[in-house]
Amino acid sequence: MTPMTDRLHILVSAEELSAITSRLAAEIDRDYADHPRMILLGILKGSILFMSDLMKKMKTVCEIDFMKVSSYGRGVRSSTGEVQVTLDLFREDIRQYDVLIVEDIVDSGRTLTFLTRYLLDKGAKSVRSCVLLDKPSRREVPYIPDYVGTVIPDEFVLGYGLDYDEKYRNLPYVAAVDQSKN
C-alpha cells in the first residue's frame, strides 16, 4: 500500500490559493459594499481554511456563522442525496440579512441547493455562494455557484480544509489522490 503522501499531486498550490482568495475578496467587497447586514456562513468542516483566508482579505463589514450538514449515502451513486442539518446557525433570526455561504467544493450540487432553500425559508434577504472548488462534471442537480475559486476535473481532492477520511485538512494546498497507485 503506497502511503497517502506519495499518492498526491498538487492541484492548487498555496500561492494559487492566496491569489484566489484575494480575487474573491475583492469581488465580494465590490458586490456587498451597500449590504450593511451580511453573514459569511461557513459550512463545516471543509470551509474553515478557505473562509479564514477569505475574510481576512475582505473589507466588507460582516458577521460570521457556521452550519454543518450531512448528505446521506455519499459516494453511493444510487443515493437519494438527502441533505440534513446537523448543526444549525448560531444566529436565530436571519431576516434582513444577506447570507453568503462559504463552501469548500460543489460536487453534485445537492448541499448548496438544499442550503439555499433552507436559508430563504428562514427569511434571509438574499442567499449566494462562494466556493473554492467547482466540479461541474459531477452535477446531479443544476446549481451554479455565485463566486468560484477554480474549476477542477472529476478527481478526489484533499487539503486546505478538505478531508480524506477526516484527515489531511491541514495541508496548505489542494491535492488530488492518484487512484492508480494503491
| Residues of the shown chain interacting with Mg ion in the complex, contacts defined by CB under 5 A | 46
Q: At what angle are helices 48-57 and 14-32 packed, to 10 degrees?
A: 60
Distance from C-alpha of 45 to C-alpha of 68, rounded to nearest angstrom: 7
Is residue 108 a contact residue for ligand IMP (CB under 6 A)? Answer: yes
Q: Extract the C-alpha cell encoding 36.
A: 450593511
Instruction: Indicate whether 171 belongs to the interface with ligand IMP (CB under 6 A).
Output: no
The residue of the chain with the least Cβ separation from Mg ion equals: 46
Q: Please choose, out of 7-15, 24-32, 106-114, 117-125, the segment that lies near ligand IMP by the rule CB under 6 A.
A: 106-114
Q: Which x/- pattern, by CB under 6 A, does the window 1-40 give for ligand IMP?
A: ----------------------------------------
Supply φ then ψ for residue 62, to 5 degrees: -150, 160
* Closer CB to Mg ion, 46 or 81, in the complex: 46
Question: Binder to ligand IMP among 42, 46, 159, 161 (CB under 6 A)?
Answer: 46
Using CB under 6 A as the binding rule, whether residue 104 contacts ligand IMP is answered as yes
Query: Binding of ligand IMP at residue 156 (CB under 6 A)?
Result: yes
Helix (H/G/I), strand (E/B), else coil: 11 = strand
Query: Is residue 42 part of the contact set for ligand IMP (CB under 6 A)?
Result: no
By beta-carbon proximity to ligand IMP, the closer residue of 60 and 134 is 134
Q: 56: exposed, middle or buried (C-beta count within 10 Å: 0-12, 13-18, 19+)?
A: exposed
Contact call for residues 43 and 115 (beta carbons, < 8 A): yes
- 60 touches 32 (CB < 8 A): yes
User: Count residues contacting ligand IMP (CB under 6 A)?
Assistant: 15
For 73: left if phi > 0, alpha if psi spans -120 to 50, otherwise beta; the answer is left
Binding site partner of 21, from Mg ion, ligand IMP, none, Cβ cut-off 5-8 A by kind: none
Active-site residue list? 107
**Interaction of residue 129 with ligand IMP, rule CB under 6 A:** no
H/E segment holding residue 18: helix 14-32
Q: Which residues bind ligand IMP (CB under 6 A)?
A: 46, 71, 103-111, 156-158, 162
